């Protein structure tokens, strides 16, 4: 069982010599309830993470070595799978702990490398190893493909995995194991980077697996991976084809998500939401670079945009949750995914509330390293919640305003952890959610990502930082955005379907080009001449190459009533060749 560091706070003394380059590993504060909670919860959280990793994790029996089980829950909901995204974010936390001295984790990280190499070689519903399969969101815990219906592809997984393994590869190089980095780790990274360069400009499902469009989280993760991937390639004498060329294009596209007060987390989709989503706060903490300035273009935690967005997102939950009733501005609230959420009735999430704290801890680190705080018209509303009479301007570290601001933001950051503390059971187990009215744990038990998010937030709190990913050399937005070259396939949908007077046939499906299952926006098919096999309905749709998708035909009458085909969903997959023509021949069922 894990015998190394058990919490960021307990580890401070042991880590001091290892992270001496950091400005500070803060002195132990007086023993408050929150400090004691953090100490206890850190041990529970690292134990909780390790318990969910195969093969010997206490709650991951039957999982293959290195596999992160999302949760031991096997029903209501069934999370007995390994998600590429969750696993990568979890292992990023573990690699950072390795970097700061916990070598007991290395064997698990090596198992993760081997497991991911195996998963990259699987043919699955998103495609084959060389045709989009890396975008498959989840797998069975025994490293076999999950073939059921799901929101796929999800394009964040390869970029996130690349980042976790780039951190590890750099550590290997720094610790005399360059050959292992070249021979074992780089091949996995290289495949993920290749996927990212090819697919970053394609729509896909967001990190909540609900919206098929362009996701800010996916784009920000892609930008970071491409920048640090190009640098690692040079270190190892390898080539990351198109990484350096693609990164500025991704950064340029990222600016499209800023809507003048907050980040619209999902665009190019008609989802009926405001776009205020903790997706954007998680993006900011994932792409946090401790050596960066408060850069708006990369939405660094201390940037005016990121702070304005933090206020917009967290405020969106102030009046909709019973647990937040009566909490004034300037005090932390329980944070969910997005205000319109209906999953399990739409509740606060532990990882979302932790993320709100982590962004502010990262911002504090950046301000103290930079030596000043700049308040603009964009960020002023955030600061005024904490210090009502504050004004725009630049305040350097020796000013009373700097000291007042950092003190207030630290208290606000801690307040988010205190919210989590209030709704954490006495034994420290972290589910996915807690009830919006009662605060009782909800949904999947012992969620790995919940535990990992607590570890990450509290390590930032005590000044334990990740290494720079090169943000300062990759934060200039091109004057003109250049999208990736399009590569589409003309797909003809043919279906034999008998209709009555006034009925028309449409096709809908799980990709943007097929209206994301929206009957109101379905693609109309035109009736051709009757044939011996019955009426034939046809439509031609441009769909990106190397895209797997599910679809169905529907009928609509003059009143707008919709009749769906019977289950299951149909499936299709486009080839790699650009401008090719493909046909799907179907019978209505």
Summarize the chain as % helix, strand, coil (round to 5): 40, 15, 45
Q: Is 35 a catalytic residue?
A: no
Q: At what angle do helices 156-174 and 216-236 cross, to 10 degrees?
A: 30
CB 16 within 8 A of CB 28: no
CA distances from 532 to 495, 496, 498, 581 (A): 14, 11, 12, 25
Catalytic residue from among 209, 242, 315, 340: 209
Q: At what angle do helices 106-120 and 186-199 cross, to 10 degrees?
A: 50
* 426-462 as b/e: b if 16+ CB within 10 A: eebebbbbbbbeebebbbbbbbbbbbbbbbbbbbbbb
150 annotated as a binding-site residue: yes
- The Cα angle at residue 229 between residues 225 and 235, in degrees rounded to 5: 155
What is d(CA 379, CA 385) in angstroms, rounded to the nearest whole number?
Answer: 11
Q: Which of 359, 347, 271, 266 is nearest to 311 (CA)?
A: 359
CB 222 within 8 A of CB 257: no
CB 313 within 8 A of CB 283: no
Q: What is the CA radius of gyration of the chain?
A: 24
The two tokens of residue 57 are 């994790």
Q: Which helix (H) or strand (E) holds 81?
A: strand 81-83
* 310-324 as b/e: b if 16+ CB within 10 A: bbbbbbbbbeebebb
Place of tokens 């803060």: 26
CB 148 within 8 A of CB 208: no
For 409-429, the DSSP string reads HHHHHHHHHHHHHHTS-TT--
Bridging pattern class, strands 526-527 and 488-496: unpaired
The two tokens of residue 118 are 């195996």
Instruction: Write the burial class of residue 111 (CB in 10 Å: 0-12 exposed, 13-18 middle, 19+ buried).
Output: middle
HEC-encoded secondary structure of 226-276: HHHHHHHHHHHCCCCCCHHHHHHHHHHHHHHHECCCCECCEECCCCCCCCC
For 39-77, the DSSP string reads HHHHHHHHHHHHHTBTTT-TT-TTPPTTPBPS-S-BSSS
Bridge partners (DSSP) of residue 407 are none
Q: Is 577 a catalytic residue?
A: no
Catalytic residue from among 86, 156, 194, 206: 206
- Which of the residues are catalytic? 206, 209
Residue set of the binding site for substrate: 150
């Amino acid at each position: 069982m894990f015998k190394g560091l058990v919490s960021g706070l307990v580890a401070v003394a042991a880590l001091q010599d290892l992270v001496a380059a950091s400005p500070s590993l803060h002195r132990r504060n007086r023993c408050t309830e929150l400090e004691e909670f953090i100490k206890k919860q850190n041990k529970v959280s690292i134990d909780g993470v390790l318990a969910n990793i195969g093969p010997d994790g206490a709650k991951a029996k039957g999982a293959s070595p290195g596999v992160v089980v999302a949760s031991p829950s096997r029903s209501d909901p069934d999370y007995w799978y390994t998600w590429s995204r969750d696993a990568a974010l979890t292992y990023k936390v573990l690699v950072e702990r390795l970097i700061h001295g916990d070598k007991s984790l290395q064997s698990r990280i090596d198992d993760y490398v081997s497991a991911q190499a195996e998963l990259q070689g699987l043919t699955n519903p998103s495609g084959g190893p060389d045709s989009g399969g890396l975008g498959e969101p989840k797998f069975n815990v025994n490293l076999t493909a999950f073939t059921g219906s799901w929101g796929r592809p999800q394009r964040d997984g390869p970029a996130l995995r690349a980042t976790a393994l780039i951190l590890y590869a750099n550590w290997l190089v720094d610790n005399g194991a360059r050959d292992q980095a070249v021979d074992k780790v780089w091949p996995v990274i290289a495949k993920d980077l290749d996927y990212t360069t090819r697919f970053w400009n394609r729509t896909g499902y967001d990190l909540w697996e609900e919206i098929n469009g362009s996701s800010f989280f996916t784009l920000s993760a892609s930008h970071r991976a491409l920048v640090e991937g190009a640098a690692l390639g040079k270190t190892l004498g390898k080539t990351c084809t198109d990484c350096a060329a693609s990164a500025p294009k991704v950064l340029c596209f990222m600016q499209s998500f800023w809507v003048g007060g907050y980040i619209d987390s999902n665009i190019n989709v008609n989802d009926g939401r405001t776009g205020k989503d903790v997706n954007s706060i998680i993006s900011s903490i994932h792409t946090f670079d401790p050596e960066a300035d408060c850069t708006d273009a990369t939405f660094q935690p201390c940037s005016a945009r990121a702070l304005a967005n933090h206020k917009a997102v967290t405020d969106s939950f102030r009046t909709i949750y019973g647990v937040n009733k009566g909490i004034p501005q300037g005090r932390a609230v329980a944070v969910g995914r997005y205000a319109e959420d209906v999953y399990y009735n739409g509740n606060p999430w532990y990882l979302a509330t932790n993320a709100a704290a982590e962004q502010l801890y990262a911002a504090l680190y950046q301000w103290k390293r930079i030596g000043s705080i700049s308040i603009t018209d964009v960020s002023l509303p955030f600061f005024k919640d904490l210090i009502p009479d504050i004004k725009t301007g630049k305040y350097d570290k020796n000013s009373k305003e700097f000291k007042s601001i950092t003190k207030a933001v630290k208290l606000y950051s801690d307040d988010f952890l205190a919210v989590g503390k209030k709704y954490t059971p006495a034994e420290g187990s972290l589910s996915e959610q807690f009830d919006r009215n009662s605060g009782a744990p909800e949904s999947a038990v012992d969620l790995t990502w919940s535990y990992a998010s607590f570890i990450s937030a509290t390590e930032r709190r005590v000044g334990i930082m990740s290494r720079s990913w090169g943000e300062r050399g990759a934060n200039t937005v091109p004057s003109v955005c250049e999208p990736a070259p399009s590569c589409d396939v003309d797909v003809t949908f043919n279906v034999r379907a008998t209709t009555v007077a006034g009925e028309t046939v449409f096709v809908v499906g799980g990709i943007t080009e097929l209206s994301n299952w929206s009957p109101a926006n379905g693609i109309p098919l035109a009736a051709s001449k009757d044939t011996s096999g019955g009426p034939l309905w046809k439509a031609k749709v441009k769909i990106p190459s190397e895209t797997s998708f599910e679809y169905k035909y529907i009928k609509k009458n003059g009143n707008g009533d919709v009749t769906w085909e019977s289950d299951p969903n149909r499936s299709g997959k486009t080839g790699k060749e650009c401008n090719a023509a493909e046909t799907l021949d179907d019978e209505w069922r």
